Chain A
Amino acid sequence: DAGVIQSPRHEVTEMGQEVTLRCKPISGHNSLFWYRQTMMRGLELLIYFNNNVPIDDSGMPEDRFSAKMPNASFSTLKIQPSEPRDSAVYFCASSFSGTGELFFGEGSRLTVL
C-alpha cells in the first residue's frame, strides 16, 4: 500500500519564482497536514484540511503561501513569490480523523537562491 507521496523531492529555484509542492495522501485518510521543518524553528504546522476543507491556516507565514485540496487525493502548497527564507523541508502528512497517527511523506526539500 502506497504511503503519502510528495513531489518534487528536491527543488532549487531562484528568488521570486513560483514554487508548487504536491501531495497525495493515503487513500481513506480524511485529514491532511502541511508542515515546514527548519533547524531554527523545528516542525511548524502551516495548514491542515479535514475532508478537503481548510480548518486552520494560522500557520501560513504570509500571503505568499497558499494551499488547496481540490479532492481527497491531492493537495498543493504554493509559494509565490519565493524568498531565500522559505528554504526548508516541507512535509505533507495524512491521518484518519485528524487526531490519530500521522503518516508523513518523504518531504520536499526546497532551496531558494
Chain B
Amino acid sequence: QKEVEQNSGPLSVPEGAIASLNCTYSDRGSQSFFWYRQYSGKSPELIMFIYSNGDKEDGRFTAQLNKASQYVSLLIRDSQPSDSATYLCAVAFMGDMRFGAGTRLTVKP
C-alpha cells in the first residue's frame, strides 16, 4: 500500500515567520516529490517539485528531500497571509501520483 502521510494541522504561524510542513511516504521506490497548494474551494496547483536528496529553493519556498528517511518537507520563509491554504504533498512512482491528506496553514497578520 502506497501511503503519503502529513500532519493535518491546522498549522498557524504569524506573518513573517517560517512555516514548516512535513511529509513521509511508504514506497521506497518513489521517484518524484511534489508540493501542491490548494486554496479553499479551488483545485490544487503545483508550487515545487524535487527529485534528488537535499534542498531546492525557489523564492520563499524551500523543498527538502531525504530518501533514506523517506521524508520530504516544505519551508515557507517570510510567510504571508496569502500563503494561507492547504498544502498537499504528492509522491510519484512509475506514473502513479498519490497525495497526502494535506496540512492546513494559516498565516496570521
Chain A residues proximal to chain B, CB less than 8 Å: 31, 33, 35, 41-43, 45, 48, 50, 55-56, 91, 95, 97-102, 104-107
Contact = CB atoms under 8 A, between A and B. Distances in A.
Contact of B46 (A31, A35, A102): A102
A104 B101 contact: no
Interface of B: 31-32, 34, 36, 42-46, 49, 88, 90, 92, 94-102
Given A104-B45, A107-B43, A48 B96 contact: yes
A55 B96 CA distance: 9
A88 B27 CA distance: 27
Given A43-B44, A56-B96, A104-B45, 19 more contacts: A35-B99, A42-B101, A42-B102, A43-B88, A43-B99, A43-B101, A45-B99, A55-B95, A91-B43, A95-B97, A97-B95, A99-B94, A99-B95, A100-B49, A102-B90, A102-B97, A104-B44, A106-B43, A107-B43
A44 B80 CA distance: 29
A107 B92 CA distance: 21
* Interface-centre pick from B32, B36, B97, B99 (highest chain A CB count, 10 A): B97
Contacts of A95: 97
Contacts of A33: 97
A42 B99 contact: yes
A109 to B, nearest CB: 9
A111 to B, nearest CB: 15
Contacts of B96: 45, 48, 55-56, 98
Contacts of B97: 33, 45, 48, 95, 98-99, 102
5 contacts: A42-B100, A48-B95, A98-B96, A100-B32, A101-B46
Contact of B43 (A42, A50, A105): A105
Nearest to B96: A56
A98 B44 contact: no
B98 A45 contact: yes
Contacts of B99: 35, 42-43, 45
